[in-house]
Amino acid sequence: MRVHFHLDTRASPEQVFTAFTDVSERRLEVWSKTLDPAKYEVRDQGESWAVVREGSAGVDLWVVLRYEWAAPDRVSWTLVDSDHCDRGAGEVLITPRDGGGSRVDVTIHHSGGRGLRGRAVLLAQRVLGPLAFPRTWRAALDRLAG
């Protein structure tokens, strides 16, 4: 399953970068519409990386992702573990927009659906992701911009 989308947000590039790299309790506030606090756990972290368990509220799914951010315009992640797929990676590229705000380009690639449930989840993400992800992510990032 490969999903690619972009969105424009009022949030500055710095705010977008922080939204994706801050793994403190603040992350649960920023992504309150998409992250389930009961599934959230920071497992390990360093200066430019973190391993985090995450899942969406209302959905019985979880992933463990290793986030990395060596540059202020790019955040990538690799799937460490999941209850529904075997492999995955993603990337967020952040560029400033003329007049303020940011453009966020996102690529997500997950594969190896585990059983019928896993394949159904990946299919739903491929079909609904390009519509749902930009809308919910833009709303979260725009809230940061005030």
Q: Report which secondary-structure segment, H or E, holds 42.
A: strand 41-46
Domain of residue 87, residue span: 2-145
Q: What is the pLDDT of residues 101-142, one digit of tens each?
A: 999 999 999 888 888 888 888 888 889 888 999 999 999 999
Q: How many domains does the chain have?
A: 1
Q: How confident is the model at residue 68 (pLDDT cuts 50, 70, 90)?
A: very high
Q: Calculate the CA 119 to chain-centre distance.
A: 20
Rounded Cα distance, 74 and 55, in Å: 22
Are 56 and 124 within 8 A, CB to CB?
A: no
Average pLDDT over residues 50-59: 92
In the predicted model, what is the mean pLDDT of the chain? 94
pLDDT at 50 over 90: yes
Q: Which residues pair with 94 in a beta bridge?
A: 104
- Is the pTM higher than 0.75? The answer reads yes
Q: How confident is the model at residue 46 (pLDDT cuts 50, 70, 90)?
A: very high
Q: How confident is the model at residue 93 (pLDDT cuts 50, 70, 90)?
A: very high
CATH code: domain of residue 104: 3.30.530.20
pLDDT at 10 over 90: yes
